[in-house]
Amino acid sequence: MQIIHTLAELREQLAPFRHPAVVPTMGNLHDGHIALVRRARPLGDVTVATIFVNRLQFAPHEDFDSYPRTLQADCEKLAAAGCDLVFAPSEQELYPQAQTFKVHPPAALADTLEGHFRPGFFTGVCTVVMKLLACTQARSAVFGKKDYQQLMVIREMVQQFAMPVDIVGIETHRSGDGLALSSRNGYLSAGERSQAAQLSEVLSSVAQALRAGDIDFPSLEVDALQNLAAKGWKPDYVAIRRQTDLQTPQPGDALVVLGAARLGNTRLIDNLEV
């Protein structure tokens, strides 16, 4: 497996290939990331993982400086998973000058849910993903459904810009107790980790009510928020939305239940399709 740090090296290594399959990550990899790499392998003639902690998607009060950077351990995991090439640029390499050109996704999709609580987040995500897809000349890119809204925003970006990239989403990987795997799970204390699966449990209870025919969406959302708060969480949202565009659902729509809440100092997100 090649580990590349510059664009010049990247272009040289990828020159013989016509269909790179790419997995963009911020590193600190877990089994969910490795599943993305395994899914990517049959999609192209070379498998590329990118590792870059993207300042543009962090607000000033968020954890950019403390976000775990574990390149050596990440590369060992990627090599074991059959990844061909790791592109791990420095900030200076990827942003050699101020990134004044940015991708601003539509407000209806990107300023709700995560975008409401993290203003500018999806502009940062779209800008770096577009740049990484261009750098790697990706023809396929694989993302996890845990970041459900992010996956939808990226798909819409690729479609509207007519980018020749197939965006593939795979199911959320979970621990045995149901907690969605996330790099930020490492921030949880032992006591918080024992409680962390409560988020998925609350979302599961909403999903069960929906499957049973309950269509009082506002009451289900409020009850879920109160349930989390009673357990000691600080919830941002629990929302029932239409799968296709994350808008308010109509009868008969395929649904997704999304939630974000803070447990101690750690903010976790999750979702379940219904």
State pLDDT tens for residues 108-143.
999 999 999 999 999 999 999 999 999 999 999 999
Same domain? 84 vs 21 = yes
What Å distances lie between residue 79 and 19, 82, 87, 189, 269, CA to CA? 20, 5, 13, 30, 28
In a domain? residue 11: yes
In a domain? residue 77: yes
Mean pLDDT within 71-100: 98
Using DSSP's 3-state secondary structure scheme, residue 168 falls into strand
Angle at 151 between CA 146 and CA 152, to 5 degrees: 125
Say if residues 20 and 45 touch (Cβ distance below 8 Å): yes
For residue 93, what pLDDT is reported? 98
- Answer whether residue 249 shows pLDDT above 90: yes
CA distance linking residue 222 with residue 224, whole number of Å: 5
Mean pLDDT within 142-166: 98
For residue 32, what pLDDT is reported? 97
CA distance linking residue 234 with residue 226, whole number of Å: 10
- Among residues 170, 196, 214, which one ends one of the domains? 170
Residue 123 has which token pair? Answer: 């502009």
Same domain? 34 vs 151 = yes
State pLDDT tens for residues 178-215.
999 999 999 999 999 999 999 999 999 999 999 999 99
Same domain? 92 vs 13 = yes
Same domain? 80 vs 215 = no
Same domain? 200 vs 122 = no
Among 119, 264, 261, CA closest to 189: 264
Only one residue has tokens 């993982």, namely 49
- pTM (2 decimals)? 0.95
Residue 250: pLDDT band with limits 50, 70, 90: confident
For residue 26, what pLDDT is reported? 97
Which among 19, 30, 33, 116 is annotated as catalytic?
Answer: 33
Same domain? 145 vs 37 = yes
Q: Tell me, yes or no, if 33 is annotated catalytic.
A: yes
SS3 content of the chain, % helix, strand, coil (to 5): 40, 20, 40
Same domain? 110 vs 230 = no
In a domain? residue 175: no
Mean pLDDT within 84-94: 98
Domain that holds residue 260: 183-273
- Answer whether residue 77 shows pLDDT above 90: yes
